[in-house]
Structure 1
Amino acid sequence: MTDQTASPLPPLRSRVTAPERVDLPDARGDVTWRPMVREDAVAVHALRRASGRIDHPAYIVTLEEIERDLERSEIDLVRDAALAQDAQGEIVAYGSVVLLSSQSTLVRSVLDGAVHPARRREGIGEQLLAWQEQRALQQLATSEKTLPGWILSFADERAEGALALFSKRGFEFKRWWLELSRDLAEPLPVVPLDDAVRVVPVTDEWSERIREARNDVFRDHWGSQPIPADTWADLMGLPIARPDLSWLAVDRATDEIVAFVLTTVNEEEWEQVGFSHGYVEYVGVRRTFRGRGIAQALLVHALGVYRERGLDRAVLDVDSESPTGAVGLYEHLGFRAVNRSVSLVREF
């Protein structure tokens, strides 16, 4: 959780020194830069696939996710998204800078990007990150909020080049996340469900209540902010979202959602990683129901359905310093750490 209670802060704009103008990087060799347009989504997806095989081989960003990102209301493609192309018009790098609209306790400008593996060690990544950082400073400097401001990015620990670039520019390796995996061929433990709740499959009519429950559960988690309704609808509408593999625990007396397990399945990843799997996107329990084994019971139920559907493994990511003791919960259920990623932050 981010601590904003220690002392009042002045407006963010007074704590950030930003350039008046941010131009795209200069041309270098056969590489030139231009703003991104929505029609670039397919080419960006191909670049993400090529770079991801090295930088984050365990997951693949889908074309639909890239299309959604380029259409979100928070991004001005002319100012916030750029790509580099060679003399033949092939995209060799891309980057985006998005000032997230959800700002309950934190103002975040998020950086995303990649350089094609064949064009690394040419200074393209340095150009890209320098541009992104300057644009992020501009974004933060527009805020009157008296909240902490972050320039934020993420990287797999295997992305050594990216980690070196962020470190060189003064980003802190602020929070480590564990990728956990569980072999579904191994026996599942028996975890009785609390008699006060019932298990309900996820359907459309629950969607808004799930969002509200998610926002409540994760408000004490590091860096987390509420998910707005439009963003939630976009996420739930992605092809990888799997309500048929997602479950709720509902209070029998009030019909309140007290816990949830939400799943995504990206079959593009299966060949690359060598096994089929469901990804546990969210697990959460409301505070008043914690300590009663509800999360364990609901997750075991979900894992059993995964296995019935023929999936080989379950995968999830968890904050290595989770305030709810989630790492121990998952390990008790047979999950094992297989990789790490890190949140990279400049704070203001």
Structure 2
Amino acid sequence: MTTITLPAGLLAREVHLEDASAITDLNKQADIAETGQSDTTIEDVYELWDNEQLDLARDACAITNAGGDLIGYTGVAVTLRGVMLDVHTNVHPTYQHLPIARYLLQFADERTRALLESNPETPRRLYTWGFTPTKTALLVGHGFTIEESDYRMEIKLDKEPEPSQVLPGITIRPFVQGQEEQAVYAVIAEAFPDIDGKPYRPYDDWYQNVFVKSTSFDPTMLYVAVAENQIIGTTLCRVYPENAEGFIWQVAIRRSWRKQGIAQQLMRTVFAASYQRGMQRLLLDVNATNATGAHQLYASVGMHKHSQFDSLVKVF
């Protein structure tokens, strides 16, 4: 395999916490150049580094130009699923004609092999997501394969949303923090295996990921549907005030209560609350092969396909 070297005048160095702003801007510039818009926030960058405990000094690489500007970035981290390639791996559009991306992916491969050697129990795979056709094509060209694809859907809140409707015997309200986390989890743990056939993550893992590690999760935007004195449905949201947008993170209804319009009314409740907070749009992701009728559900409340992104893996 040919070793990739950087062109003269460019420097590879370790990454520091204070680089998060430049990495955010780098990704925004690359996204805008290809799609005309970007959803990347600095909170996303910090949250991924923190959640995955990415070792910036050892397992991440920044590329700078002669003026010291950050023009390329990548990083990898060990997870239960294998080694994760940071989704913020990118090159500034002005420099994408140079072999910087290939240099970064070469770095990621080398660090992946080292991490797998020191963590033999870790699945021997490097995985990530491609949020644009160019990123997916680049990764495929580097030996990744597409495992599955998802649709990102959106609704623009440029006018007051349709109000939620009253369902007989069902109450939709904000959840009570400190009292109902277990009940909310039980609904999600029952619903999500119907999407991919896999057991859902343990409660402690879910709780840490949602309530402790996520800087964008807003517990006041967690709504529940209650019937017969039990929680039968829920929706969780992330909020990004700096972008005036939100992200519907999880929607779940217990099996015996589905097809009664509960999910629609939960989502309409979220739409209304988001509009009142000044959010201009909401996003969510759904698997392209989801067999639960989720696509029809989201379309029925006014959401439409915004883009497609791919889950990719490279086996070592």
Q: TM-score range by the shorter chain?
A: 0.7 to 0.9
Which residue of structure 2 aligns with residue 21 of structure 1?
none
AA at the equivalent of 1:172: T
Q: CA deviation at 1:83?
A: 0.9
Structure 1 residue 329 corresponds to structure 2 residue 297:
yes
Pick aligned residue for 1:84 from 43, 63, 67: 63
- Secondary structure of the residue aligned to 1:199 is strand
Give identity over the alignment, percent: 25
Which residue of structure 2 aligns with residue 121 of structure 1?
97
Contact 1:59-1:269 at 8 Å conserved across structures: no
- Secondary structure of the residue aligned to 2:68 is coil
Contact 2:252-2:263 at 8 Å conserved across structures: yes
Q: Distance in 2 between matches of 1:266 and 1:57?
A: 19
Distance of aligned partners of 1:289 and 1:123 in 2 relative to their CA distance in 1, 3 Å threshold: same
Please show how residues 79-228 of structure 1 align to structure 2 within 5 Å: 79-100=58-79, 103=80, 107-112=81-86, 113-140=89-116, 142-144=119-121, 150-157=125-132, 159-160=133-134, 162-184=135-157, 185=159, 188=162, 192-193=166-167, 195=169, 197-206=170-179, 208-209=181-182, 210-211=184-185, 213-222=187-196, 226=201, 227-228=205-206
Q: CA deviation at 1:125?
A: 0.2
AA at the equivalent of 1:70: W
Structure 1 residue 282 corresponds to structure 2 residue 214:
no
Which residue of structure 2 aligns with residue 36 of structure 1?
15
Structure 1 residue 62 corresponds to structure 2 residue 62:
no
Consecutive unaligned residues in structure 2, runs of 5 or more: none
Which residue of structure 2 aligns with residue 318 of structure 1?
286
AA at the equivalent of 1:261: T
AA at the equivalent of 1:50: Q
Which residue of structure 2 aligns with residue 300 of structure 1?
268
RMSD: 3.1
Q: Distance in 2 between matches of 1:87 and 1:225?
A: 48
Structure 1 residue 48 corresponds to structure 2 residue 27:
yes
- Secondary structure of the residue aligned to 1:170 is coil
Contact 2:241-2:279 at 8 Å conserved across structures: no
Structure 1 residue 263 corresponds to structure 2 residue 237:
yes
Distance of aligned partners of 1:194 and 1:176 in 2 relative to their CA distance in 1, 3 Å threshold: farther
Consecutive unaligned residues in structure 1, runs of 5 or more: 1-23, 271-276
TM-score by length of 1: 0.75
- Secondary structure of the residue aligned to 1:182 is strand
Distance of aligned partners of 1:203 and 1:40 in 2 relative to their CA distance in 1, 3 Å threshold: farther
Contact 1:181-1:316 at 8 Å conserved across structures: yes
Q: CA deviation at 1:326?
A: 0.6
TM-score by length of 2: 0.81
Q: CA deviation at 1:343?
A: 1.4
AA at the equivalent of 1:66: V
| TM-superposition CA deviations, 1:267-318 (whole Å, max 9, x none) | 3335xxxxxx432222122334333332122112222333444544433221
Contact 1:33-1:84 at 8 Å conserved across structures: yes
Contact 2:50-2:213 at 8 Å conserved across structures: no
Distance of aligned partners of 1:327 and 1:108 in 2 relative to their CA distance in 1, 3 Å threshold: farther
Distance of aligned partners of 1:64 and 1:206 in 2 relative to their CA distance in 1, 3 Å threshold: farther
Contact 1:97-1:136 at 8 Å conserved across structures: yes
Distance of aligned partners of 1:229 and 1:308 in 2 relative to their CA distance in 1, 3 Å threshold: closer
- Secondary structure of the residue aligned to 2:173 is strand
Contact 1:58-1:269 at 8 Å conserved across structures: no
Distance of aligned partners of 1:48 and 1:247 in 2 relative to their CA distance in 1, 3 Å threshold: same
Q: CA deviation at 1:150?
A: 3.9
